[in-house]
Each structure stands twice: as C-alpha cells, then as structure tokens.
C-alpha cells in the first residue's frame, strides 16, 4: 500500500513538472504573440509592464482572476462551468505521452499517437458544450462551427498520421522519433512532405486559429463560443487553446522533424557536443518554430470563408492524403525509408 502511495506521489510530482512549464509557456506564448504580431504590423506590442513588457502575461492573469464570472440568465449553470474544464483537461492530458527526450516521457504507452489523436478530438466538447450552455445564439453558432470544423479536419489529420505510422511501423511516439534517426534527410518531412504540410494546416484548423478561426469570427458572431464567458472561466478557455497550439506544434516536431534528434547528427566534427547530440533543446527549438508559424499565419492571412474551409478539408486534403499514404507504402516496400 505504501509503495502504491509513493508511486502516486511521484507520478503527481512528474505531472506537475510537465503542467507548470506548459502553463508558463502559455503565458509567454500570449506575450510572444502580441510582440510578433506587433512588429509585423510596425508596432511595438506590450512594453509597459516590467522590462520589455515581460510581466504583461502575469498582469493579464491577475486581471482575469479578479473579474466576476457572469452566468447568463437561463444558462445551464453546471454545463456552463464544466465546459472550460472539459476544454482544458484533454489539452493537458495529451502531454502525458509526449516524449521530450529519449527517456523523458511520463507514460511511454504503446498506442501513444492514437492517444494524442483521441484527446485532441475530445477538446471540441468544451467548445460545443460552452456554446450550448451559454443560451446565446452567437455562442451556439460558434460552438457548432467549431464542431463541424474539428470533425472534418480530424480525418485529414488522421490520414496524415497514417503515413507516419506506415514509415515508422509503430504507434509509440518515442519509437516514431527513433525511426527518423540518421540525418535531416531521414526525418519524415522529406518522404511525407505533403502529409507534413497537411498535418500542420489541419492542426491550425483544429485549434480554431487564424485563418480558420470562424468559431470565434468576430465580424459575424461577436466572439463565438466564448461570447458569454468572463473572468477565470474565459481564462481557462484561453489556456486550453494555447496549450493545444503548443501541443500541435510539439507533435509536428516529433512526427516530421525528428523530435529531440539533432540536425547535425552524425557529423564527425561536432561529435557528442550539445550541437551534435540529440536533446530536449532541439525538441523545444523545433516546437518554437511551429509556434511562430501560428503567429505568422495570424498576421498574414485573412479569414477563410466557411464553405472554403469545408472544401479545403474534404475535397483537397483528404484525397491528397489518401494518395500519399499509398506513396508512403511504396517507399516502405522499396525499402527507401522505414525500418
């Protein structure tokens, strides 16, 4: 019994060691977003709170926490308060199977990739329930849009991942990264280039970010599913959205850019220095690149029209992925890639 209790305490400690850095990362992701978009629009972004505005995220958090949570009349009270939790829980749970390094993973489970896919698809419940429970037509429309979009892009995303599974021969995320070992050219972005692009675009669509952010299209439906949310309940939705964005970025780095593997792997000059050897710093760097892409997209592209989103998902991405899965199978049979 004591032994089981110790295991429990140790596991909870490990979970905190993942969740706390993610929360901090989300806080600074919002700061980074405002800075990056600011400079892209020839502004400076936040620069008043603390040096270079670095304390701005904390100021925002405290502002949110001290605000009142307003529950609309005739709202379904329990579901209204449950929805933000349902949005955040899968976004954080999925990190349980993400390997940060060769050995640094909370749960090295066999079907890790499926686990992540299942959990990212569950995040839509928070949005859907929040939209319905608000008793507001804008919120309901936002929730419905989000649900339709997530379900559509999940198929393209799943097919893109099938290509990765074909080449690596495993559903275990650590195994997938190890299968890419070699050099930059043996990472899966090269043989699976169309799937790589489709995966990331579907990821942007699935997290409801620009240019696919019709779920909160302010020009038509005020703020979409979180129109009625305020205070810390709104902050939790925000936290979930950004945690999901970092998760999608981390997955793109793991599945297509070799995770923690070094791009200079095998170069005799560098050997086992921190440049040559794989490590968590490479993983974080690659993840940060994809996070930056999210912000770049937001500052660059105008919002897609709803029917264009559906067309892109169903009529463009899904056929391409199906064709490329067969190409990946061919690579495997010819022995060019994969174990």
**Among residues 297, 298, 283, which one has the least CA distance to residue 25?**
283
Q: Of residues 11, 273, 300, 308, which one binds other proteins by CB under 8 A?
A: 308
Q: Of residues 80, 95, 100, 125, which one binds other proteins by CB under 8 A?
A: 125
Minimum gap (Å) between residue 176 Cβ and other proteins: 13
**Among residues 240, 335, 339, 252, which one has the least CA distance to residue 294?**
252
Q: Which stretch binds other proteins (CB under 8 A): 50-58, 235-243, 305-313, 317-325?
A: 305-313
Token pair 């319905």: residue: 132
Token pair 């995770």: residue: 259
Token pair 């990821």: residue: 203
Q: Which residue lies nearer to other proteins by CB, 15 or 144?
A: 144
- Cβ–Cβ under 8 Å, residues 14 and 106: yes
Residues 48-87: x where in contact with other proteins by CB under 8 A, - otherwise, as a string: -------------------------------x--------
Cα–Cα dist 266/123, whole Å: 40
3 near other proteins (CB under 8 A): no
CA quadruple 67, 68, 73, 76: dihedral, nearest 10? 90
Q: Which stretch binds other proteins (CB under 8 A): 34-42, 57-65, 107-115, 243-251?
A: 107-115
Segment holding 86, helix H or strand E: helix 77-93
Residues 170-209: x where in contact with other proteins by CB under 8 A, - otherwise, as a string: -x--------------------------------------
- Cβ–Cβ under 8 Å, residues 248 and 207: yes
Please give the residue ranges that form the binding site for other proteins (CB under 8 A).
4, 79, 109-111, 114-115, 117-118, 121-122, 124-125, 128-129, 132, 140, 143-144, 147-148, 150-151, 154, 171, 307-308, 311
């Amino acid at each position: 019994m004591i032994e089981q209790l110790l295991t429990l305490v140790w596991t909870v400690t490990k979970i905190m060691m993942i969740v706390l850095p993610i929360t901090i990362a989300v806080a600074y992701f919002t700061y980074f977003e405002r800075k990056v978009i600011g400079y892209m629009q020839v502004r400076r972004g936040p620069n008043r709170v603390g040096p270079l505005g670095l304390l701005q995220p904390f100021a925002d958090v405290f502002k949110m926490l001290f605000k009142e949570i307003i529950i609309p009349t005739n709202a379904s009270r329990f579901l209204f308060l449950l929805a933000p939790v349902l949005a955040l829980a899968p976004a954080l749970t999925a990190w349980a199977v993400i390997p940060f390094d060769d050995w640094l993973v909370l749960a090295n489970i066999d079907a890790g990739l499926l686990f992540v896919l299942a959990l990212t698809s569950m995040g839509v419940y928070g949005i859907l329930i929040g939209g319905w429970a608000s008793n507001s037509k804008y919120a309901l429309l936002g929730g419905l849009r989000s649900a339709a979009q997530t379900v559509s892009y999940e198929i393209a995303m799943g097919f893109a991942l099938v290509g990765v599974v074909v080449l690596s021969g495993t559903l275990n995320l650590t195994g997938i990264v190890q299968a890419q070992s070699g050099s930059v050219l043996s990472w899966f972005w090269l043989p699976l280039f169309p799937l790589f692009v489709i995966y990331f675009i579907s990821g942007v669509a699935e997290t409801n970010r620009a240019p696919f952010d019709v779920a909160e299209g302010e020009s038509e439906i005020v703020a979409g599913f979180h129109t009625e949310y305020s205070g810390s309940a709104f902050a939790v939705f925000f936290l979930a959205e950004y945690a999901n964005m970092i998760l999608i970025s981390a997955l793109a780095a793991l599945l297509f850019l070799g995770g923690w593997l070094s791009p200079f792997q095998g170069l005799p000059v560098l050997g086992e220095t921190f440049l040559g050897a794989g490590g968590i710093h490479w993983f974080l760097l690659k993840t940060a690149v994809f996070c930056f892409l999210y912000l770049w997209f937001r500052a660059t592209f105008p919002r897609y029209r709803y029917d264009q989103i559906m067309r892109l998902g169903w009529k463009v991405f899904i056929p391409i992925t199906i064709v490329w899965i067969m190409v990946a199978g061919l690579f495997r049979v010819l022995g060019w890639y994969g174990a």
